[in-house]
Amino acid sequence: MSDRLLVLCRHGQSEWNLQNLFTGWKDPDLTAQGIEEAKQAAARLKARGIAFDIAFTSDLVRAQHTCRLVLEGLGQPGLETIRDQALNERDYGELSGLNKDDARARWGEEQVHVWRRSYDVPPPGGESLKDTAARVLPYYIHRILPQVLGGRRVLVAAHGNSLRALIMAMEGMSGEAIVKRELATGVPIVYRLNADSTILSKEELA
């Protein structure tokens, strides 16, 4: 089996996920459930015999906390971990910190749906998924992918939309298709890549 291993993991449930708030670049931590989800992610990876050579995470505490719990659960608490805001969640701009129901009351159900589920329409002062991809993908190509293709086993603990941007590129999905892809919190997606960076295999450890 190839060692070109890349595991993507959305952070565990955050305090603002629980409260139904738009989070974006705001920085709440994990809930008790989110902590348990991260520990379960580690247990599932350990059961597959997976360990890592390097980890990447965002500049936000919920992803960093998830990354730390996964590595601790694998007995790798001191593993080299690179943090970068290129992997941050999509910036929701003026929606950040608002309850999703309150946002619908203010701007209307249809407009909020467009902001949440279109590929290239940003909320006021924020990023579309297309904008998010424009910062995530160069970072993946220049920093993460060379590690994977070099034979290192790589963990990326990040966010729903930054990971969607990665998955879109890796799996060759359209913008319209990727916005419909739901990523569960704390569920590792295990990719093994071919030497040309195409996908050899994929498994979700739900």
Q: Which helix (H) or strand (E) holds 178?
A: helix 175-178
Catalytic entry in 11, 37, 65, 127: 11
Residue pair 122/128 in contact (Cβ under 8 Å)? The answer is yes
* CA 177 to the chain's CA centroid: 17
Residue pair 57/7 in contact (Cβ under 8 Å)? The answer is no
- Residue 191: φ, ψ to 5°: -110, 140
Largest interatomic CA distance in the chain: 53
Tokens of 104: 């619908």
- Residue 56: φ, ψ to 5°: -125, 140
Q: Which of 45, 49, 47 is nearest to 66 (CA)?
A: 45
Catalytic entry in 37, 65, 89, 159: 89
11 is catalytic: yes
Tokens of 41: 């992610």
89 is catalytic: yes
- Catalogue the active-site residues: 11, 89
